[in-house]
Amino acid sequence: MTTSAKTFFVLPLLIIALFTLLNAEQLNIDVKEHVLDNGMKILVVENHDAPVFSTIVRVKVGAVDERPGQTGLSHFLEHMMFKGTKIFGTTDYEAEENLMAQIDSIGELLMDEWRKLQDPMNYPPDSTRYKELRDQIAKIQESQKEHIVKDELWETYLKHGGTMLNASTGDDGTQYYVSLPSNRLELWMLMESDRFKNMVFREFYSERDVVYEERRMRTDNSAWGKLYEQFSATAFTSSAYQHPVVGWASDIESWDHELLKEYFENYYTPNNTVAVIAGDVNPEEVFSLAEKYFGDWERGPEPPRQTTFEPEQKGERRVTVEFDANPMLLIGYHIPAAGHPDMAALDALSDILSRGRTSRLNKSIVEEQKIASSVSANSSFSRYPSLFTFSGTPLKGHTTQELEDAIYAEIEKVKAEPVTTWELQKVKNQFDAAMIKSVNSNMGMCWRLANYEAMVGDWSYINEYWQAYKNVTTEDIMRVANQYLKESNRTVATLVKPDEAGDESEGALSEKESSSY
């Protein structure tokens, strides 16, 4: 049979299979789950198509769990989790332990000096002693390097066929992931359990400097980063979503060993963690190995959760950020958290507005009016009430005000008239296809299950949400548009060049660029 003949034969079968999936009531994912006595949940999905498996360990902690003084710690812990343990990443842990004790002792003095430098009564500040202590720490860190095996965890995984090894931190969680050959399951259990149970905070101050530089690169020296940070800080007045994931600069400077240790012990507990394994594995073997390697991980207290929530917004808020870059626009409206009955309709609304080239925003604002180079809408899926956002960049010769007005015009249309049946069916088909594609790989399956388990407390919500999206009506979309996308519920952030700031409205807040470093 020729290649073209094979393709002709297979394509109808694929179409039939896809049609069957799109019209199914649920995805029918065969998930086996097991909860250890310490509260850690293990989810397993078998897929024997290839001799590999993927994993995600999701810790239910992110920027939203932080409070002033500790912002950025979730992200910092992600960095530190690759620094090794008492057996990985060192040639002589006892020698290292002694050096780290010296560093911690000097670190306490360092933080005392740092606090003096922040005291407005201590003027002019004298940083001589602070610099001396930093130099002392740097000198001991140089000695410590003699015992450090750099990136041993990474290298070990890579030598054993590991791919996609990485981690990420967001507002709502931190996740660690890797794919491995199926005969390396026990190696994964050994290495992951060791770093979660026995992490060593080696290279603390040098890694803190790395995070500080990351903040400068991605936020302070980034037009989008600066705009988004000020947008979030304006949109949220009490919710911890106002904090940047990387942390505020002054908080990064104030981190010490004890603060990180306390945060780690509060949140990196088995009862706050879910592990998902998908691929060529046997569930019973997975559960047996999990008992062996993770079973003695001591259960912690229930982690602290946010009890301060965002009050109802009673009027539009605006912020202007001056930055030497092309103008940008961000608009946000408060919406409910993941799991709320309106989330499916809000997601469908964002898809109709900006998913694909035939979406309303792209057709009207980008292609027809040619006001913007890009414009998009997004409905946040978050642990706590968050935002429905619009973002865009006006083309040269056009202003952010023109773009803003054009977006509002499209919002008013969906408020006043039902979207077409064709539009709604189109995004439903796109949603179905995306959902199926996302669980068609081992890592995609892990991401979906870990996210739903962490966000709403039940991985099977994937089916509930899929069905909710299928059931969205044109009336639902009109209702949520009118309920949430209203002026009194709106925050607008605009990025302008410094010499153009005077053109902004007099009522806008201005956040002028300056460096304190």
Assess whether 195 and 335 both reside in one domain.
no
Q: How far apart are CA 371 and CA 363, in angstroms?
A: 11
Assess whether 286 and 393 both reside in one domain.
no
Q: How far apart are CA 291 and CA 146, in angstroms?
A: 36
For residue 25, being part of any structural domain is answered with no
Residue stretches of the chain with pLDDT short of 50: 1-22, 504-517
Assess whether 282 and 377 both reside in one domain.
no
The shares of helix, strand and coil residues in the chain, as percent rounded to the nearest 5, are 50, 15, 30
Domain ranges, residue 349: 317-511
Is-above-0.85 flag for pTM?
yes
Assess whether 67 and 193 both reside in one domain.
yes
For residue 112, being part of any structural domain is answered with no
For residue 125, being part of any structural domain is answered with no
Assess whether 350 and 478 both reside in one domain.
yes
> Residue 503 has what pLDDT?
55
Assess whether 262 and 336 both reside in one domain.
no
For residue 250, being part of any structural domain is answered with yes
Domain boundary among 263, 294, 325: 294
Assess whether 332 and 267 both reside in one domain.
no
> Residue 504 has what pLDDT?
47
For residue 36, being part of any structural domain is answered with no
> Residue 8 has what pLDDT?
39
Domain boundary among 294, 327, 355: 294
Assess whether 341 and 237 both reside in one domain.
no
Kindly tell me the burial class for residue 422, based on how many C-beta atoms sit within 10 Å of its own C-beta (0-12, 13-18, 19 or more): exposed
Task: Report how far apart, in Å, the C-alpha atoms of 132 and of each of 118, 120, 319 are.
Answer: 17, 22, 40
> Residue 10 has what pLDDT?
39
How far is CA 143 from its chain centroid?
Answer: 36
> Residue 162 has what pLDDT?
96
Assess whether 408 and 446 both reside in one domain.
yes
Assess whether 242 and 195 both reside in one domain.
yes
Assess whether 265 and 329 both reside in one domain.
no
Sign of the CA dihedral with 112 first, then 116, 117, and 119 last:
positive
Q: How far apart are CA 355 and CA 430, in angstroms?
A: 9
For residue 20, being part of any structural domain is answered with no
For residue 304, being part of any structural domain is answered with no
How many independent structural domains does the chain possess?
A: 2
Residue 251: CATH number of its domain? 3.30.830.10
Assess whether 331 and 237 both reside in one domain.
no
For residue 31, being part of any structural domain is answered with no
> Residue 1 has what pLDDT?
41
> Residue 123 has what pLDDT?
82
